[in-house]
Amino acid sequence: MQLIPCPWCGPREEVEFHYGGQAHVAYPAESAALSDEEWAKFVFFRDNPRGPFAERWSHAAGCRRWFNAVRDTRSYELLAVYRPDQERPVTT
Amino acid sequence: MTTGNPPARPGADLPDHPSFLWRNPDPATSYDVVVVGGGGHGLATAYYLAMVHGITNVAVLEKGWLAGGNMARNTTIIRSNYLWDESSGIYEHALKLWEGLEDELGYPILFDQRGVLNLAHSLQDVRDSVRRVNANRLNGIDAEWLDADGVKEVCPIINVSPDVRYPVLGATYQPRAGIAKHDYVAWGFASVADRLGVDLIQNCEVTGIETAGGRVTGVNTTRGRIAAGKVALCASGHSSELAAMAGIELPVQSHPLQALVSELLEPVHPTVVMSNAVHVYVSQAHKGELVMGAGIDSYNGYGQRGSFHIIERQMSASLELFPIFARAHVLRTWAGIVDVSPDASPIIGLTPVDGLYLNCGWGTGGFKATPGVGDCFAHTIANDKPHPYNEPFTLERFTTGALVDEHGAAAVAH
Ligand SMILES: Cc1cc2nc3c(=O)[nH]c(=O)nc-3n(C[C@H](O)[C@H](O)[C@H](O)COP(=O)(O)OP(=O)(O)OC[C@H]3O[C@@H](n4cnc5c(N)ncnc54)[C@H](O)[C@@H]3O)c2cc1C
Ligand SMILES: [Zn+2]
């Protein structure tokens, strides 16, 4: 089973984690001013890259904290994990 | 010692492996229609373009070999018992086409209407199921609600005892549902399309979509540039990448979806059983393998493989439902990449680019639609206007809010 390195707990088995989709999707600053197209983008459209993807995970059966990871969607290799308050690290 | 006749080899009644069923042409410099993706949907679309609309200057471009994507990997469940009128339209249209497809293609596809049971394990399941049965009947789709004894009658090997963790309280039953042999379906469409003049071009990856003045003009491929009057995307798990080549964003996410088969067993399982609640579905293939699957792996992935705990969970769920499978062995597991849409319904139709057409978002359940979507998508391409059955399934519905939410009928149930 794949090990996912929780930034707080260290490497744990994948079954302990819950997937949260694309990271760094901010809630619209002026939500009342959004057009239908902009709402659609925010609610339904997410990046879907073949390659490195910054995404959210929660250590649901562990410390229960959320964090971000950059994972390659081709190899499933975790290139970096980082806390939600940190910038996306540069990965190669 | 004398022996009687040896038992028939499993699958002895199946047709022989075919010799060549289509030419293997080099791409021409230009086509009226280029279909991207040589899975079931692309092949069926090309077939109906040629057969119904007389459009034969068509190429199907496939980056690998024909029907080696999800068409080769799905568990072949065919049914039309979805909840909403929009879905009933296209899935039932497909089921009616399946019922005549073997004759139409002149090729055996082993379409077998052995029925499908969608199990209910909780009061909420029961209510949702009965509602869906009523909705199906109003749409002229065969559907029945069965209690646990009725389930046992249709499928004697299922455990309906009340002392399991999630007892079977009943099921919806669609007798006209069933399975077909996925490879033969693809080969049938491919061979007739080829005979009608369609070029099926393998090992030809589309790497760019050319447009001029808001209109599609051709594609770039690993085998050179190909001019095209119209381009139709049928790329399932890779749809986001292809649409992005024309500057179009899609609301789909690509996930691994796994399945597995056992070794060949005597026929024990007469129908198809699906359970959203314990999260597994099982049928027995013509040759005798138990075929089972469950939901997608949670994470995005293009790797055509998933996590092993997904397989373990579906096996434990199937053992609870079918204790007699305890001694069966897993022979093979695999995954495909499925394009999951927000409302578990497909996206089929026109795009902001003239002459570029979109068919994606079928996620875990597009095999059953193969002839239906082929017919409707071909109509959309030929007339530059959606067929009434795919009219509700626009890309714009995510902006207007007119979603077709089929999570209840589609979730684990492909
Ligand atoms: C494990 C599993 C079980 C399933 N079970 C069921 C089921 O029981 N019932 C059901 O109804 N559905 C099921 N499905 C879903 C079904 O398989 C798909 O919805 C359907 O096959 C998608 O249409 P397709 O056949 O055209 O896709 P595919 O066969 O995936 O065809 C798409 C093709 O596009 C090609 N392609 C991609 N990018 C490019 C490019 N750039 N250039 C050229 N070609 C390209 C790919 O190589 C591929 O061959 C299942 C799927 C999986 C993975
Ligand atoms: Zn943790």
Three-state secondary structure string covering B267-331: CCCCCEEEECCCCEEEEECCCCEEEEEEEECCCCCCCCCCCHHHHHHHHHHHHHHCHHHHHCCEE
Q: What are the DSSP E strand ranges found in B124-279?
A: 144-147, 170-174, 178-179, 199-201, 206-212, 215-221, 224-233, 253-264, 272-275
Instruction: Report ipTM (2 d.p.).
Output: 0.97
List of chain B residues whose C-beta atoms are within 8 Å of the C-beta of residue A81: none
Confidence band, pLDDT 50/70/90 cuts, at residue B190: very high
pLDDT of residue B17: 66
B186, B43 in Cβ contact below 8 A? yes
pLDDT of residue B201: 98
Cβ neighbours for B81, distance < 8 A, ≥ 6 positions apart: B116, B118, B132, B133, B136, B141, B143, B172, B174, B177, B409
B333, B257 in Cβ contact below 8 A? no
Query: Is the confidence at residue B159, as pLDDT, over 80?
Result: yes
Confidence band, pLDDT 50/70/90 cuts, at residue B408: confident
Residue of B366 and A92 predicted with greater confidence: B366
> What would the pLDDT profile of B259-290 be if each residue is shown by its tens digit?
999 999 999 999 999 999 888 999 999 999 99
Question: For residue B291, which amino acid is it?
Answer: V
Would you state the structure tokens that stand for residue B179, as one six-digit string? 């399975």
Confidence band, pLDDT 50/70/90 cuts, at residue B126: very high
| Nearest CA among B309, B318, B314, B312 for reference residue B273 | B318
List of chain A residues whose C-beta atoms are within 8 Å of the C-beta of residue B237: none
As a whole number, mean pLDDT of residues B90-111 equals: 97
As a whole number, mean pLDDT of residues B129-136 equals: 98
> What would the pLDDT profile of B62-91 be if each residue is shown by its tens digit?
999 999 999 999 999 999 999 999 999 999
**Residue A46 near chain B (CB below 8 Å):** yes
- Strand order from edge to edge, sheet including A18-22: A18-22, A52-58, A66-72, A78-82
Task: Give the span between the Cα atoms of B111 and B185, in whole angstroms.
Answer: 9
Q: Which residues place a Cβ less than 5 A from the ion ligand 2? A: A 6, 8-9, 59, 62-63
Number of Cα atoms under 13 Å in the Cβ half of residue B80: 28
Q: Does residue A33 sit within a domain? A: no
Q: Which of B203, B236, B333 to mutate to test the pocket of ligand 1 (most atoms within 8 A of CB)?
A: B236
| A13: containing domain | 1-26+46-92
Confidence band, pLDDT 50/70/90 cuts, at residue A92: confident
Task: Give the span between the Cα atoms of B157 and B321, in whole angstroms.
Answer: 8
As a whole number, mean pLDDT of residues B290-312 equals: 95
The rounded Å distance from CA B305 to ligand 2 centre is: 26
The percent of residues above 70 in pLDDT, for chain B, comes to: 96
> What would the pLDDT profile of B338-353 be if each residue is shown by its tens digit?
999 999 999 999 999 9
As a whole number, mean pLDDT of residues A21-49 equals: 96
List of chain A residues whose C-beta atoms are within 8 Å of the C-beta of residue B308: 1
Average model confidence (pLDDT) across chain B: 95
Q: Domain count of chain A?
A: 1
Confidence band, pLDDT 50/70/90 cuts, at residue B5: low
Kindly list the protein residues whose Cβ atom lies closer than 6 A to any atom of ligand 1: B 36-42, 61-64, 67-71, 73-77, 205-206, 234-236, 238, 242, 257-259, 293, 336, 338, 362, 364-368, 414
Q: Does residue A91 sit within a domain? A: yes
Would you state the structure tokens that stand for residue B201, as one six-digit string? 């071009």
pLDDT of residue B1: 47
Q: Does residue A67 sit within a domain? A: yes
**Residue B176 near chain A (CB below 8 Å):** no
pLDDT of residue B20: 86
Going B233 to B235 to B239 to B244, the CA torsion angle's sign is: negative
Task: Give the span between the Cα atoms of B321 and B304, in whole angstroms.
Answer: 28
pLDDT of residue B242: 98
Q: What are the DSSP E strand ranges found in B22-66?
A: 30-36, 58-61
**Residue B309 near chain A (CB below 8 Å):** yes
Q: Which atom of ligand 1 is nearest to the CA of B334?
A: 1
Would you state the structure tokens that stand for residue B43, as one six-digit string? 């092949």
- CATH number for the domain spanning A87: value is 3.30.2270.10
Q: Helix, strand, or coil here: B390?
A: coil
Task: Give the span between the Cα atoms of A80 and A25, in whole angstroms.
Answer: 18
Any idea what DSSP says for residue B180?
Answer: -
Q: Does residue A68 sit within a domain? A: yes
